[in-house]
């Protein structure tokens, strides 16, 4: 397929997606402006990313640190989110350049990010990933481990916890919805427990991908991470 075809296909996909997001927001009685779209570009090339930027997207996500660093450098007019599993020896690739790190799931990683941010003289925004599916194969802290991780975070002034993130399992609609509802309830509980702690903002809910973003919007998602529906 030619470049022009690829570009117009991506522009159309983005338009359809934004329309679906707006409709779902309206059905949920929410303002679509409160829902950010992060385009997950891990499976595509630079041309597709450029097409999405031309079509108006401003936030992108990568799940591998090396590719994150390369793309953030190539396309530095847009915001880049790190959404993948974190290895502490690779955090230099995204701390300081990521608008938001979605996938912090241990005290070790949290402290490593805080230390790197301190060296760079900046504050790194991040989310804590929660395993709402209760599956051993899934990343994220379990809901009962979350309070103690936030207690660690509140004493680390070079990180700012903007909220929570989850990846739903491939399961029934009911089960996926339960995961998203659990993340929202957990977020509300944590906002109460840590009210007034300045570096724990906890307003963001990063949940919803190509197959489940409508449910996520219904349950309060503020950030959608979408790949396949944009690039297909
Ligand atoms: C790949 C990926 C996405 C996007 O998934 P799609 O099904 O392509 O929309 C979202 N979140 C994470 C963590 C991912 O790795």
* Rounded-to-10 torsion of CA 31, 161, 62, 206: -30
Domain harbouring 109, CATH code: 3.20.20.10
The string of pLDDT tens digits covering residues 79-132 is 999 999 999 999 999 999 999 999 999 999 999 999 999 999 999 999 999 999
Q: Please state the pTM of the whole predicted model.
A: 0.97
Q: Which domain holds residue 137?
A: 3-231
The string of pLDDT tens digits covering residues 167-177 is 999 999 999 99
Mutate which of 40, 211, 217 for ligand 1 pocket (most atoms within 8 A of beta carbon)? 40
Q: What is the pLDDT of residue 205?
A: 98
CB atoms within 10 A of CB 215: 21
State the average pLDDT over residues 33-60.
98
State the average pLDDT over residues 144-171.
97
Q: How far is Cα of residue 186 from the mean position of the Cα atoms in its chain?
A: 17
Atom of ligand 1 nearest to the CA of 103: 13
| Average pLDDT in the chain | 97
Task: Tell the residue nearest (CA) to atom 8 of ligand 1.
Answer: 227
Count: domains in the chain: 1
State the average pLDDT over residues 201-205.
97
d(CA 169, CA 65): 24
Task: Tell the residue nearest (CA) to atom 13 of ligand 1.
Answer: 83
Nearest Cα residue to 223 out of 201, 210, 208: 208
Q: What is the pLDDT of residue 171?
A: 92
Q: What is the pLDDT of residue 207?
A: 98
Q: 165 C-alpha to center of ligand 1: Å?
A: 12
Q: 231 C-alpha to center of ligand 1: Å?
A: 12
Q: What is the pLDDT of residue 1?
A: 53
The answer, yes or no, to whether any atom of ligand 1 lies below 6 A from the CB of 81, is no
The answer to whether the CB of 139 falls within 8 A of the CB of 105 is yes
Atom of ligand 1 nearest to the CA of 102: 13
Nearest Cα residue to 182 out of 216, 227, 138: 216
């Amino acid at each position: 397929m030619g470049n022009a075809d690829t570009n117009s296909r991506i522009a159309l996909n983005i338009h359809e997606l934004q329309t679906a997001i707006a409709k779902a927001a309206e059905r949920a009685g929410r303002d679509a402006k409160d829902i950010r779209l992060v385009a997950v570009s891990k499976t595509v090339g630079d041309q597709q990313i450029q097409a999405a930027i031309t079509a108006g997207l401003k936030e992108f996500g990568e799940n591998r640190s090396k590719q994150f660093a390369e793309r953030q450098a190539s396309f530095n007019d847009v915001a880049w989110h790190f959404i993948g599993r974190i290895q502490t020896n690779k955090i230099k690739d995204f701390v300081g350049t990521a608008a938001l790190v979605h996938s912090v799931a241990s005290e070790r990683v949290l402290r490593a990010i805080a230390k790197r941010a301190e060296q760079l003289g900046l504050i790194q925004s991040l989310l804590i990933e929660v395993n709402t599916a209760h599956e051993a194969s899934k990343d994220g802290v379990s809901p009962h481990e979350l309070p103690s991780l936030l207690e660690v975070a509140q004493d680390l002034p070079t990180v700012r916890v903007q909220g929570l993130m989850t990846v739903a399992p491939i399961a029934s609609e009911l089960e996926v919805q339960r995961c998203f509802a659990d993340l929202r309830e957990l977020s509300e509980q944590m906002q109460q427990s840590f009210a007034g702690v300045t570096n724990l903002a906890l307003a963001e809910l990063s949940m919803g991908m190509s197959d489940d973003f409508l449910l996520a919007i219904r349950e309060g998602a503020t950030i959608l991470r979408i790949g396949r529906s944009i690039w297909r």
